[in-house]
Amino acid sequence: GENVEQHPSTLSVQEGDSAVIKCTYSDSASNYFPWYKQELGKGPQLIIDIRSNVGEKKDQRIAVTLNKTAKHFSLHITETQPEDSAVYFCAASRPGGSYIPTFGRGTSLIVHP
Amino acid sequence: NAGVTQTPKFQVLKTGQSMTLQCAQDMNHEYMSWYRQDPGMGLRLIHYSVGAGITDQGEVPNGYNVSRSTTEDFPLRLLSAAPSQTSVYFCATWTGFTDTQYFGPGTRLTVL
């Protein structure tokens, strides 16, 4: 089955700095890679996703890159703000719905004002 | 639309007690799942369902039962609670058209 490794487990940055979270996956058939943000006391919520037919996707201060050859993908947050503080999860899955995504163990991002 | 709802938000049980965690969705999604979240362990899949009447085991199914009699509801049953089941439980739903998972707000369970 799929195995997703996520690093680092904790990331502390100053407000305004950039933050990068990296994930690797094992199943070459995976082609859907979402990122979820979990705020304290809440359930995870999708913030951005990428499919294997693209190498990069941006949404304002957030971007995700994908390297299918190396089987890794990354989340980039620029100009971090205190409200970016949360736990971030990466995941990998095959398309079609019936394939259950495999999640990384999460990264706790702390943005210091 | 409420999306995905979970009840209760908090629960304290004694070892050996039974209870059911409720999950309901009004998104008409065919797929539903239960995860538990423990510190440093991420989200671990307990059980999932690909449609009414169809369920299957995930990574950590022992001690939990599920059923799916309707599209909307997917309850998780603990038959005899153990301290190792102390965790935060999340229900999620998704559709094969987008693959995006929608999570409920979670149930924090403590077993003494």
Q: Which chain B positions have a beta carbon within 8 Å of A7's beta carbon?
A: none
**What is the signed CA dihedral for A87, B44, A34, A9, rounded to 10 degrees?**
40
pLDDT tens-digit series, residues B46-83? 999 999 999 999 999 999 999 999 999 999 999 999 99
State the smallest CA–CA distance between residue A16 and chain B in angstroms: 27
State the smallest CA–CA distance between residue A9 and chain B in angstroms: 8
Per-residue pLDDT tens digits of chain A, which is 113 residues long: 889 999 999 999 999 999 999 999 999 999 999 999 999 999 999 999 998 777 999 999 999 999 999 999 999 999 999 999 999 999 998 876 677 889 999 999 999 99
Rounded Cα distance, B13 and B11, in Å? 7
Q: Provide the pairing of β-strand B107-111 with B10-13.
A: parallel
Distance separating the N- and C-terminal Cα atoms of chain B: 36
